[in-house]
Amino acid sequence: MGFATLQLTAFDCPRPLRLAEFYAEVLGGRIDGGEDDDWVELHLDDGQRLAFQRADDLTPPEWPRADRNSQQLHLDLTVQDMDAAHAKVLELGARELDVDDDAHADFRAFADPAGHPFCLCRA
C-alpha cells in the first residue's frame, strides 16, 4: 500500500481556460477559473480533478516519439460509441494522431487543443 494519494493531474498549456473547456465537454464536470487565470481546475463528477497551468511557450509533445519531444504522459478515455466520440473530440478542437483504425480497433489517438496526446478507448 502506498503512502500518498493522487491529488490531480496538471497540464501545461498556453490557454488554461480553453483546455479546461475542451476536457469539460469531453468528461463533464465544473470549471473553476477564468480566461485571465494562470491556473484553472476542472472538478469531475466523480471527485477527480484536472488542472491546467499557463505555459505560454509550450512545445507540444509528438506522437509517438521516444526522444526529448516524447509524449511523456497521455490520458486513456473510455467511450461507448467510438465513432461518435471521435467526431465530437474533432469538433471540440482535437486533431487525429493515429487514423489507422484497422491497426488499433480498440483505441484511437488524438492531440487536445494544446497538443497533449490522449486516446479514446472502446469500453
CATH number of the structural domain spanning residue 96: 3.10.180.10
- Kind plus residue range of the DSSP H or E element containing 11: strand 9-13
- Kind plus residue range of the DSSP H or E element containing 82: helix 82-91
pTM above 0.85, yes or no: no
Angle at 105 between CA 59 and CA 26, to 5 degrees: 50
Same domain, 29 and 89: no
- Per-residue confidence (pLDDT) for residue 72, from 0 to 100: 64
Return the C-alpha cell found at 63: 506522437
Q: Would you say residue 2 lies in a domain?
A: no
- Per-residue confidence (pLDDT) for residue 59, from 0 to 100: 84
- Would you say 82 and 122 are in contact if contact means Cβ atoms under 8 Å apart? yes
Same domain, 99 and 118: yes
How many structural domains is the chain composed of?
A: 2
Among 21, 43, 58, the domain-final residue is 58
Q: Would you say residue 1 lies in a domain?
A: no
Same domain, 65 and 75: yes
Pick out the chain residues at pLDDT < 50.
Answer: none
Same domain, 87 and 120: yes
Same domain, 76 and 121: yes
**Domain of residue 78, residue span:** 59-123
- What pLDDT, in 10s, does the model give residues 24-47? 999 999 999 999 999 999 999 999
Return the C-alpha cell found at 68: 526529448
Same domain, 50 and 67: no
